[in-house]
Structure 1
Amino acid sequence: MSTPAAAKSSRATKGRLLPLLGPAFVAAIAYVDPGNVAANVTAGARYGYLLVWVLVASNAAAMLVQYLSAKLGLVTGRSLPQLLGEHLPRIPRLLFWAQAELVAAATDLAEVIGGALALNLLFGIPLLWGGAIIGSVSMLLLALQGRGRQRVFEWAIIALLLVITVGFLTGLVVAPPQWGEVAAGMIPRFAGTDSVLVAASMLGATVMPHAVYLHSSLVNDRHGRDDEAAGPGHIRRLLRATRIDVTWALSLAGMVNIGLLLLAASALQGVEGTDTIEGAHAAITAALGGGVGAVFAVGLLASGLASTSVGAYAGSEIMKGLLHVKVPLLVRRLVTLAPALAILAMGAEPTWALVLSQVLLSFGIPMAVIPLVRLTEDRALMGEYVNATVTRVAGWAVTALIVALNLLLVWLTLTGGA
Structure 2
Amino acid sequence: MPKNLLVAPRVGHPWWRSAWLLGPALVAGVAYLDPGNVASNMTAGAHYGYLLVWVVVAGNVMAWLIQYLSAKLGIVTGQSLPEVLGTRIRNRWARRAYWLQAELVAMATDIAEVLGGAVALNLLFGIPLLLGGAITGAVSIVLLAMQTRRGPRHFEFVIIGLMAIIVIGFIAGLFVAPPDPGGVLGGMLPRFADSDSVLLAASILGATVMPHAIYAHSALTRDRFGSEEESRLPSIRTLLSITRWDVTVAMVIAGSVNLAILLLAAANLAGVEGTDSLEGAHAAITASLGPIIGTLFAVGLLASGLASTSVGAYAGAEIMHGLLTIRVPVLARRLVTLIPALIILGVGFDPTLALVLSQVVLSFGIPFALVPLVTLTAQRRTLGEYTNRRLTTALGVVFAALLITLNAVLLWLVATGA
Q: Give the TM-score band, short-chain normalised.
A: over 0.9
- TM superposition shift of 1:226: 8.1
Q: After superposition, where does 1:275-294 map in structure 2 within 5 Å?
A: 275-294=276-295
Structure 1 residue runs of 4 or more that deviate by more than 6 Å after TM superposition: 225-228
What secondary structure sits across from 1:191 in the alignment? coil
Q: After superposition, where does 1:167-316 map in structure 2 within 5 Å?
A: 167-224=169-226, 229=231, 234-316=235-317
Report what 1:100 is aligned to: 102
- TM superposition shift of 1:144: 1.2
Report what 2:323 is aligned to: 322
Report what 1:4 is aligned to: none
Which amino acid counterpart does residue 191 of structure 1 have in structure 2?
A: A
Which amino acid counterpart does residue 264 of structure 1 have in structure 2?
A: A
Task: Encode CA deviations 1:197-230: one digit per residue, 9 max, x unaligned.
Answer: 0110000000110010011110011011889746
Report what 1:130 is aligned to: 132
1: CA distance, partners of 2:62 / 2:212: 15
The 1:289/1:385 distance shift into structure 2, 3 A limit, reads same
Judge conservation of contact 1:227–1:234 (CA < 8 Å) in 2: no
Which amino acid counterpart does residue 159 of structure 2 have in structure 1?
A: I
- TM superposition shift of 1:149: 2.2
2: CA distance, partners of 1:260 / 1:382: 38
- TM superposition shift of 1:14: 2.2
Report what 1:84 is aligned to: 85
What's the RMSD between the two structures over aligned residues? 1.4
What secondary structure sits across from 1:145 in the alignment? helix
Structure 2 gaps of 5+ residues are 1-11
- TM superposition shift of 1:416: 3.9
Task: Encode CA deviations 1:265-299: one digit per residue, 9 max, x unaligned.
Answer: 00000001112111000000001111110000000
Percentage identity across paired residues of the two chains:
63
Task: Encode CA deviations 1:299-326: one digit per residue, 9 max, x unaligned.
Answer: 0000000001011000010011001011
Task: Encode CA deviations 1:79-104: one digit per residue, 9 max, x unaligned.
Answer: 10001100112111000000011000
Judge conservation of contact 1:40–1:261 (CA < 8 Å) in 2: yes
Judge conservation of contact 1:52–1:185 (CA < 8 Å) in 2: yes
2: CA distance, partners of 1:149 / 1:85: 25
Equivalent residue pairs, number: 406
Report what 2:63 is aligned to: 62
The 1:309/1:96 distance shift into structure 2, 3 A limit, reads same
Task: Encode CA deviations 1:136-157: one digit per residue, 9 max, x unaligned.
Answer: 0111111110255211100100
1: CA distance, partners of 2:13 / 2:283: 49
- TM superposition shift of 1:349: 0.5
Report what 1:379 is aligned to: 380
Q: Which TM-score applies when normalising by structure 2? A: 0.95
The 1:225/1:392 distance shift into structure 2, 3 A limit, reads farther
Report what 1:340 is aligned to: 341
Deviates more, 1:219-228 or 1:367-376: 219-228
Judge conservation of contact 1:50–1:190 (CA < 8 Å) in 2: yes
Judge conservation of contact 1:285–1:292 (CA < 8 Å) in 2: yes
Report what 2:6 is aligned to: none
2: CA distance, partners of 1:116 / 1:230: 42
Which amino acid counterpart does residue 151 of structure 1 have in structure 2?
A: R
2: CA distance, partners of 1:229 / 1:113: 44
Judge conservation of contact 1:77–1:225 (CA < 8 Å) in 2: no
Judge conservation of contact 1:103–1:210 (CA < 8 Å) in 2: yes
Report what 2:414 is aligned to: 413
Task: Encode CA deviations 1:80-136: one digit per residue, 9 max, x unaligned.
Answer: 000110011211100000001100000000000000000000011110000000000
Report what 1:388 is aligned to: 389
Q: After superposition, where does 1:138-149 map in structure 2 within 5 Å?
A: 138-149=140-151
Which amino acid counterpart does residue 145 of structure 2 have in structure 1?
A: A
The 1:225/1:342 distance shift into structure 2, 3 A limit, reads closer
1: CA distance, partners of 2:167 / 2:198: 27
What secondary structure sits across from 1:387 in the alignment? coil
Which amino acid counterpart does residue 55 of structure 1 have in structure 2?
A: V
The 1:305/1:225 distance shift into structure 2, 3 A limit, reads closer
The 1:353/1:149 distance shift into structure 2, 3 A limit, reads same
The 1:47/1:32 distance shift into structure 2, 3 A limit, reads same
- TM superposition shift of 1:15: 1.1
Report what 1:7 is aligned to: none
1: CA distance, partners of 2:189 / 2:322: 41
Q: Which TM-score applies when normalising by structure 1? A: 0.95
2: CA distance, partners of 1:241 / 1:161: 20
Deviates more, 1:106-115 or 1:12-21: 12-21
Structure 1 gaps of 5+ residues are 1-10
